A and B are shown apart, each in its own frame.
Chain A
Amino acid sequence: MEYVSPEGLRLDGRRPMEMRQIRAEIGAVAKADGSAVFEMGNTKVIAAVYGPREVQHRSQQMSDQALVRCEYSMANFSTGDRMRKPKGDRRSTEISLVIRQTMEACILTHLMPRSQIDIFVQVLQADGGTRSACINAATLALADAGIPLRDLVTSCSAGYLNSTPLLDLNYVEDSAGGPDVTVGFLPKLDKVTLLQVQNLLNCVILGRFSALVVGKMDSKLPIDTFENVMQLAIEGCKAIANYIREILLENTKQLEYRRGL
């Protein structure tokens, strides 16, 4: 199938290096300590953060740091055909774990000992790149909750189809079976915290990153192309970080001037 037309346009009319339209909104859940909605094109995700609060199970309490928990789920209505079991399957358990590890790495947990932070993310519309959207939404929600973070972690995916590197894959491109990477990135520290590679043969590069790899490795990808694809994803992360920062600054200013003196 042709994913990039001779004119250089993708199926949804984007250029290969173009991201989908992103939109973020803070304060979507009234009762949560922090919450956000994040959209990347037709992918729409809602995140809510509760905490830091008292640990529910005393045995899990840690006297030197906070416990971070994360739950990822997809709404029944998020996909084309209605889902029977929106959570608890292997895929959502894995994504919960990935999000938890990514967020835990950037939360300053040692500042909130003996407490727990709960992150709930739910996919409202799925059109590819749900895990990136979830990480972005979770970052926004954590920032809204006033939880101290090392850096704003953002995430974006990139793939390689029709011998072209493509940024921010949608569902059709994602399910084409080509190699793709999902990158979690800390823009200030200039570090990659998450790297998920799917359908890729070469994983020699792994030594360079504190990486986590899943997926089957069958399609071939030369190492320099991989570097390109990954660089593209990192660029996407940077663009998202700029947008998130803008939204947060706007929100902070608003809260401040509304409160007055």
Chain B
Amino acid sequence: MGQKRRPRKKIMEIFSQMPNVEAVGRYLAGKEGFRFGVFESRQGFLLYPYSLAERFHRHIEMREIQLSLNKTQKIRLHRALEKLEFLSSKVNSDASVTIADSIPVNYEDGVLKGHGTLEFNGEMVATVCGVVERVNKLVYVRALRAKYKPEVGDIVVGRVCEVTQKRWRLDINYSQDAVLMLSSMNLPDGIQRRRTALDELNMRSIFKEDDVICAEVRGFQHDGLHLQARSQKYGKLERGQMLTVPPYLVKRRKQHFHHLEQYGVDLIFGCNGFIWVGEHVEARDDMVEDQGNKPDWQNVKSNINYMSLEEQERTYTPIETRQNICRIANGIRVLSILGFNITIEVVLETVNLSSSLNLDIHEMLGSEFCVLVAEGEAERRSLSKKK
């Protein structure tokens, strides 16, 4: 039905895009049971596995819509991705499932159904697309490309969407807004005391709508997800960019705050897929205290044109730092477009690659750099595999 004729056309398309192909040769895949395509080039001829060739084409179709690659770049990208596939295929083969696939389990041992599974007619069925994970008796499906699922202790970056009574509501890329209570964060003056009605009235001087904040997941309460910011490292983030990447690309690690001394930049990997790249702030408590001491803070903000000299001094970011921020941010963007894991090592490597090539910041989002990053990643992973 319909589909049967598809592969031949597709593979012919691919072959005709390949360089050095003098004549696109005979292609025999249409015959029943024949699993290879043949094409002839100046060097000779080559047999191509059927399934491989079809997969080839889909690579481009799916996620790189925004990238306009030329022919050589396409092939280089393919080659890099092929390599990545080859490297990972040995580790866990056939663990991927789609919705309604049955998961083979041994019922005699007793199993615990985890997330993403459902019991149906005595067999276990997946309810999301993802990878089957088994921990002792527990069987669950780890979904890729899903919304962020908070866990207690996660460090998240969020944006204030509402200031209400005694609490801020934050958008943290979860199915509900998170709540940050006034009582679960340190006050600017740093004293532990009861929150008064005055504090409640001054909540906007701490965080107001659209501010970007870093906090920690405290846990679920009856009215939703609660956050806390009880340390000096948490709080408002200023002078930088917030990036949004798919949350599954950020792994939970010991260290989520990074200070890159050579760039003068702070990097915060929020577990929820929000990444903060901003100017390094020395001793955050000083800065926050500054705000608390100024009673006319809001007035200063409102007429921004008449900023005092010292105010300007305080908020000034040197051009090199700004460029560094942009460079790192673009590096992360490229990694997220390609769907690679985002860790501090990989980000630094990407940034170094771009500066060693003398690329301008805007050129980092071009297709050529994307291909280079993919190739670099393939190289890196194959090296770490050998060790």
Q: Do A and B come from one complex?
A: yes
A residues with CB within 8 A of B: 17-22, 25-28, 30, 33-34, 51-54, 66, 108, 112, 114-115, 143-152, 187-189, 239, 243, 245, 248-261
Asked whether A243 lies within 8 Å of B145 as measured between CB atoms, the reply is no
Contacts of B101 in A (CB 8 A): 245
Asked whether A249 lies within 8 Å of B175 as measured between CB atoms, the reply is no
Asked whether A143 lies within 8 Å of B175 as measured between CB atoms, the reply is no
What residue of chain B has the Cβ atom nearest to residue A114's Cβ?
Answer: B176
Asked whether B129 lies within 8 Å of A143 as measured between CB atoms, the reply is yes
Asked whether B340 lies within 8 Å of A258 as measured between CB atoms, the reply is yes
- Count A/B pairs, Cβ under 8 Å: 147
Most chain A CB within 10 A, of B3, B5, B99, is at: B99
Instruction: Give the distance in Å from the alpha carbon of A19 to the alpha carbon of B2 in the complex.
Output: 6
Interface string of B102-132 (1 = CB under 8 A from A): 0000000000000010101000010111110
Asked whether B99 lies within 8 Å of A27 as measured between CB atoms, the reply is no
In the complex, which range does the number of interface residues on chain B fall in? Answer: 35 or more
Most chain A CB within 10 A, of B1, B5, B116, is at: B1
What residue of chain B has the Cβ atom nearest to residue A247's Cβ?
Answer: B58
Knowing A21-B6, A54-B175, the reply to whether A252 touches B129 (Cβ < 8 A) is yes
Closest 9 CB pairs of A and B: A146-B146, A52-B175, A257-B88, A115-B175, A148-B127, A188-B100, A258-B339, A248-B98, A21-B2
Contacts of A150 in B (CB 8 A): 100, 118, 127
Asked whether A243 lies within 8 Å of B3 as measured between CB atoms, the reply is yes
Asked whether B341 lies within 8 Å of A260 as measured between CB atoms, the reply is yes
Q: How far is the CB of B13 from chain A (nearest CB, A)?
A: 13
Asked whether A144 lies within 8 Å of B2 as measured between CB atoms, the reply is no
Instruction: Give the distance in Å from the alpha carbon of A21 to the alpha carbon of B7 in the complex.
Output: 12
Asked whether A145 lies within 8 Å of B144 as measured between CB atoms, the reply is no
Contacts of B99 in A (CB 8 A): 143, 149, 151-152, 245, 248
Contacts of A243 in B (CB 8 A): 3
- Assess whether B143 is interfacial by the CB under 8 Å rule: yes
Contacts of A250 in B (CB 8 A): 55, 58
Asked whether B177 lies within 8 Å of A54 as measured between CB atoms, the reply is yes
Interface string of B84-99 (1 = CB under 8 A from A): 1101110100001111
Contacts of A145 in B (CB 8 A): 145-147
Instruction: Give the distance in Å from the alpha carbon of A114 to the alpha carbon of B85 in the complex.
Output: 39
Contacts of A19 in B (CB 8 A): 1-2
Instruction: Give the distance in Å from the alpha carbon of A88 to the alpha carbon of B192 in the complex.
Output: 56
Contacts of B3 in A (CB 8 A): 21-22, 239, 243
Contacts of B130 in A (CB 8 A): 146, 252
Most chain A CB within 10 A, of B91, B96, B171, is at: B96
> Contact check: which of B85, B145, B339 meets A34 at CB < 8 Å?
B145
Contacts of B339 in A (CB 8 A): 254-255, 258-259
For the A-B complex with A145-B145, A151-B99, A256-B96 known, give 10 more contacts whose Cβ atoms are closer than 8 Å: A27-B63, A53-B175, A146-B144, A146-B146, A147-B146, A148-B116, A150-B100, A239-B3, A258-B81, A260-B84
Most chain A CB within 10 A, of B118, B129, B248, is at: B129
Contacts of B98 in A (CB 8 A): 143, 152, 245, 248-249, 252
Knowing A18-B2, A258-B339, the reply to whether A146 touches B147 (Cβ < 8 A) is yes
Asked whether B145 lies within 8 Å of A255 as measured between CB atoms, the reply is yes
> Contact check: which of B120, B143, B338 meets A188 at CB < 8 Å?
B120
Interface string of B129-145 (1 = CB under 8 A from A): 11100000000000111
| Pairs across A and B, CB under 8 Å, 19 listed | A18-B2, A19-B1, A53-B147, A54-B171, A54-B176, A143-B129, A145-B146, A146-B146, A148-B128, A245-B98, A245-B101, A249-B129, A250-B58, A254-B62, A255-B144, A256-B96, A257-B84, A257-B89, A258-B339
Instruction: Give the distance in Å from the alpha carbon of A66 to the alpha carbon of B97 in the complex.
Output: 24
What residue of chain B has the Cβ atom nearest to residue A253's Cβ?
Answer: B96
Instruction: Give the distance in Å from the alpha carbon of A239 to the alpha carbon of B1 in the complex.
Output: 9
Q: How far is the CB of B105 from chain A (nearest CB, A)?
A: 17
Contacts of A108 in B (CB 8 A): 118, 127
Contacts of A114 in B (CB 8 A): 175-176, 224
- Assess whether B65 is interfacial by the CB under 8 Å rule: yes
Contacts of A34 in B (CB 8 A): 145
- Assess whether B294 is interfacial by the CB under 8 Å rule: no
Q: How far is the CB of A259 from chain B (nearest CB, A)?
A: 5
Instruction: Give the distance in Å from the alpha carbon of A25 to the alpha carbon of B1 in the complex.
Output: 19
Contacts of B59 in A (CB 8 A): 254
Contacts of A252 in B (CB 8 A): 96-98, 129-131, 144
Instruction: Give the distance in Å from the alpha carbon of A20 to the alpha carbon of B146 in the complex.
Output: 32
Asked whether A260 lies within 8 Å of B381 as measured between CB atoms, the reply is yes
Contacts of A257 in B (CB 8 A): 84-85, 87-89
Instruction: Give the distance in Å from the alpha carbon of A16 to the alpha carbon of B66 in the complex.
Output: 39
What residue of chain B has the Cβ atom nearest to residue A52's Cβ?
Answer: B175
> Contact check: which of A146, A251, A256 meets B62 at CB < 8 Å?
A251
- Assess whether B249 is interfacial by the CB under 8 Å rule: yes
Instruction: Give the distance in Å from the alpha carbon of A54 to the alpha carbon of B128 in the complex.
Output: 21
Q: How far is the CB of B41 from chain A (nearest CB, A)?
A: 28
Instruction: Give the distance in Å from the alpha carbon of A133 to the alpha carbon of B96 in the complex.
Output: 26
- Assess whether B313 is interfacial by the CB under 8 Å rule: no
Interface string of B1-31 (1 = CB under 8 A from A): 1110110000000000000000000000000
Knowing A115-B176, A187-B100, the reply to whether A146 touches B2 (Cβ < 8 A) is no
Knowing A25-B61, A28-B65, the reply to whether A146 touches B175 (Cβ < 8 A) is no
Instruction: Give the distance in Å from the alpha carbon of A27 to the alpha carbon of B2 in the complex.
Output: 23
Knowing A115-B176, A143-B129, A258-B338, the reply to whether A189 touches B120 (Cβ < 8 A) is yes
> Contact check: which of B62, B96, B131 meets A26 at CB < 8 Å?
B62
Q: How far is the CB of B148 from chain A (nearest CB, A)?
A: 10
Q: How far is the CB of B221 from chain A (nearest CB, A)?
A: 13
Asked whether A249 lies within 8 Å of B96 as measured between CB atoms, the reply is yes
Instruction: Give the distance in Å from the alpha carbon of A108 to the alpha carbon of B146 in the complex.
Output: 14
Q: How far is the CB of A128 from chain B (nearest CB, A)?
A: 15
Contacts of A144 in B (CB 8 A): 129, 145
